[in-house]
Structure 1
Amino acid sequence: MIKRMLLALTLLAACGRGVPEGAEVVVAGDSVMAWNRSSGTSVADQLEARLGAPVGDVSLPLAQVRGGTGPLNIPNQLAGLSPEWVVLNGGANDLSVGCDCNDCAATLDQLISADGTRGAIPALVSDLRARGSQVVWADYYTSPRYAGTDCEGPYRMLETRLGAMAARDPGVTLVDMDRVFSPDDLSLFARDRLHPSETGSARIAELIAPVLRATP
């Protein structure tokens, strides 16, 4: 079973969009970003259509900020890249592996401290900023699968900490996908009631595109 999963991920990576020459925007992160790639309607695909310019995509399902090997580690996805903009998300798979929804304090601290200055996420963002990239971090929406459960708590805390991080640097923008998602609108979600549908990926792109167009 594990071998089949790894093979599937390898095939997915092989057929991924990659980073076309001249791309000034690169999308990285986990399955929320990568979903719908097979139909050409992932977040990166939708951004490319809206911006009228090439957009790279190195995101992969199951990717983590701290864990994962190779491209299943989000910092590794971005190794050697320094585009004008990096659009990314992450942390859900770290939380899934590192804790249950009732005891996530340690995992959250490893990802990002309460003041947004320490942890794997600020380290990644600081590295990208040092390369000259501006960063758009897309905070998770609430999915129907987890709405109204204890799992909402850790994600609210993650959002607060991400906001503290973004407030410290004008080159970092936090966008909240909850602004354009509602767990009650099932048209925004795939059949698993967790990942975005094609319409959901379009909503994410519509949320992010204006930030990218506002390049000084």
Structure 2
Amino acid sequence: MRLTLIAPLLILALLAACGRGVPDDARVVVAGDSVMAWNRTGGSSVADQLAARIGEPVGDVSLPLARVTGGRGALNIPDQLSGVRAQWIVLNGGANDLSGGCDCSACGPVLDRLISDDGRRGAIPALVADLRARGSRVIWADYYTAPRYAGTACEAPYQVLETRLGRMAAADPGVTLADMDDVFRSDDLSLFASDRAHPSPEGSARIAALVAPLVTP
């Protein structure tokens, strides 16, 4: 999934910042990019709907335009989670790194910075290892295939990313890879916003439904 139209998204990022935070008693915290943050202004983000499903507060530090590498403050996903300790961290990331770094082609160097072929090195494994060292269990939510990019060259880097994330998760029982494609269909436009890339409220609900059983005691 590529993110374009930077100026409008910067405005949305400012709007989506409203309501971000981590309640003191939050057992689950959501972090990441716009896939997680989308629909927050309407109270229907992934964290909003996850909280409703599990019946308890859910922290949310996600923000549109956030990257795993680069970005400052909350636009850097590791920085979003600075000082955060929770039983479960649910997060995603990498789309903005890929869209800003390789434009769907020659993405090898960007992928390698994010996560190595064996899933053990790179910014993503480093972040996950840090969260695990704090005592958190990690659910990495792998991207769905958005209709805007289905059937294009943009799918290939994300398939590589998913494979590498799977290897990372397989090496640690405290890490789970949740594949959004298990609950999305790129031809079901009811799951997507009008940009045909981000989730609709129903799409965010699908992601929350995917995650809820994993964090339910």
TM class by smaller structure: over 0.9
Compared CA separation, residues 180 and 3, structure 1 to 2 (3 A): closer
Q: Please give the alpha-carbon distance, in whole angstroms, between the structure 2 residues aligned to 1:100 and 1:64.
A: 15
1:21–1:120 CA distance, 2 compared to 1 (3 A): same
Partner of residue 170 from structure 1, selected from 159, 169, 173: 173
Paired residue for 1:181? 184
Report SS of the residue matched to 1:154: helix
Conserved in 2, the CA contact under 8 Å of 1:128 and 1:135?
yes
Q: How do residues 25-174 of structure 1 correspond to structure 2 at under 5 angstroms? A: 25-174=28-177
Equivalent of 2:13 in 4, 9, 34: 9
Report the secondary structure of 2:68's partner residue: coil
- Pairs aligned (count): 213
Q: 1:210 maps to which residue?
A: 213
SS of residue matched to 2:90: strand
Name the TM-score, length of structure 1 as normaliser. Answer: 0.95
- State the SS of the aligned residue for 2:168: helix
Partner amino acid for 2:13?
L
- Specify whether residues 4 and 153 from structure 1 end up closer, same or farther in structure 2 by C-alpha distance, changes over 3 A only: closer
1:86–1:11 CA distance, 2 compared to 1 (3 A): same
Report if aligned partners of 1:109, 1:119 keep a CA contact under 8 Å in 2. yes
Contact 1:91 1:111 (8 Å CA) reproduced: yes
Distance 2:117 2:12 in 1: 37
TM-fit CA distance, 1:199:
0.4
Q: Give distance in 2, aligned partners of 1:3 and 1:154.
A: 25
Give the conservation status (yes or no) of the 8 Å contact 2:113–2:122.
yes
- Of all paired residues, the percent bearing the same amino acid is 71
- The structure whose RCO (Cα within 8 Å, separation 6+) is larger is 2
Shift of 1:147: 0.1
Alignment partners' CA distance in 2, 1:184 and 1:97: 26
* Paired residue type of 1:181: F
Q: Which runs of 5+ in 2 are unaligned?
A: none
Does the CA-based 8 Å contact 1:63-1:74 persist in structure 2? Answer: yes
Structure 1 residue 100 displacement after superposition? 1.9
Q: Cα–Cα, structure 1 residues 187 and 209, in superposed 2: closer, same or farther, change >3 Å?
A: same
Runs of 4+ in 1 over 6 A off after TM superposition: 1-5
Please give the TM-score of this superposition, normalised by the length of structure 2: 0.94
Residue identity opposite 1:132 in structure 2: G
1:9 partner amino acid = A
User: Where in structure 1 are there 5+ consecutive unaligned residues?
Assistant: none
CA contact (8 A) 1:16 1:58 kept: no
| Letter of the structure 2 residue corresponding to residue 171 of structure 1 | G
